[in-house]
Amino acid sequence: MGALITAFATWVSGLNVAQFLAFKIILFALFTVILPIILYNFALEWMLQLLGFALSYVSGSLPGDTMPNFTGLAGWFMVNLNMPEIVTTIVSALAVRLLITSVLKT
């Protein structure tokens, strides 16, 4: 059945089989290798800008130091339990949720 579809597609497009297969291979490589890299870079840049905006908003609106400084045993536990990464992930998820809900309401 696949060969029949390929033959029909080559007949409709006017290409020969080798050109059609080369085109399919190029599209397969683009969608499996290059497109995920581009989407990852776009999502990463978007999240960095969103977090930068949120951090500038929070640091500008709250008086004093908003980031606690843990030293000694508390700092060791924070680093070994990956607390900064966990808090960043939770804040990012909340920011994305807020963004999605605000977009869907309009």
What confidence score (pLDDT) does residue 58 get? 61
Rounded to whole angstroms, the Cα distance separating 26 from 42 reads 22
* pLDDT at site 54: 74
Give the amino acid at 33: V
- 3-class SS at 63? coil
Residue numbers of the chain with a pLDDT score lower than 50: none
pTM reported for the whole predicted model: 0.37
At residue 19, the pLDDT reads 76
Q: Where are the domains of the chain?
A: 1-67, 68-106
Q: What is the mean pLDDT of the chain?
A: 77
pLDDT at 51: 80
What amino acid occupies position 53? F
Q: Tell me the C-alpha distance between 23 and 12, whole Å.
A: 15
pLDDT of residue 38: 87
Q: Model confidence over 47-66: pLDDT tens digits?
A: 888 887 777 766 555 555 55
